[in-house]
Amino acid sequence: MPSAQLTHAQIWNALDRLAARAKLSPSGLAKKAGLDPTTFNKSKRITAEGRARWPSTESVAKSLAATGVSVDAFVSLISDGGATHSVPLIGFAEAGSGGYFDDGGFPVGKGWDEIAFPAVNDDNAYALEISGDSMTPAYRDGDVIVVSPAAPVRRGDRVVVKTKRGEVMVKELKRQTAKSVELKSINTNHQDRVLSLEDVVWIARIVWASQ
């Protein structure tokens, strides 16, 4: 079964397929997108220290625009077989309303749209469409994030948190103890938060963002 985590190889393979689909080499794709021609070269995919180097969201976005390929079509290129399935989608502004989630953070009820996404190892994964600029620069108005309630949450992960007050927020998990959750704001114009664990209904990890 495919992993819930997108891999370095999947993303680069998808870019290679995107180039081939446009009848271009990886360097030709980069040039068409207005990037340095070496941006997608295989030599750029691993650092001198041997670490995986990922393509930037900006370079992917420019490549999609240059080739006229939609985000959904690019997502289909990520999966080895091009297989996708639909996950439920609602607007982020609606997420705090009652009736969309159960107490465990799993999507329930009606009113969800759908979005195509590569198969993930969580039948309860769902997508939220960002509205406004409160999460810039990481997430902008119109971006879609895919959330997996079943994915383990670790320090440094970007997460969606719902409180007993009905707040739904996207933050970075700084630390979680037996009594509290420390959250770092993605937008520096907003304060970090420390919540009592008793005030948190659920925390779920973001596993993908369209950007």
pLDDT tens, the chain, 211 aa long: 344 567 888 889 889 888 888 878 788 899 999 999 899 988 888 888 888 899 999 999 999 999 998 888 888 787 654 555 678 889 898 898 888 998 889 898 888 887 766 556 778 899 898 888 888 888 888 888 889 998 899 999 999 999 999 999 999 999 999 999 999 999 999 999 999 999 999 999 998 887 5
* Distance from C-alpha of 101 to C-alpha of 90, rounded to nearest angstrom: 11
Whether 84-209 and 8-78 are alike in CATH topology: the answer is: no
* Distance from C-alpha of 120 to C-alpha of 84, rounded to nearest angstrom: 9
Q: How far is the CA of 23 from the CAs of 26, 28, 34, 36, in angstroms?
A: 10, 9, 17, 18
* Distance from C-alpha of 164 to C-alpha of 202, rounded to nearest angstrom: 9
Instruction: Report domain 84-209's class.
Output: mainly beta
Up-side HSE of residue 122: CA atoms within 13 Å toward CB? 23
* Distance from C-alpha of 201 to C-alpha of 7, rounded to nearest angstrom: 30
Q: Which residue in the block uniquely carries the two structure tokens 């670790």?
A: 154
Q: What are the structural domain ranges in the chain?
A: 8-78, 84-209
The hierarchical CATH code for the domain 8-78 is: 1.10.260.40
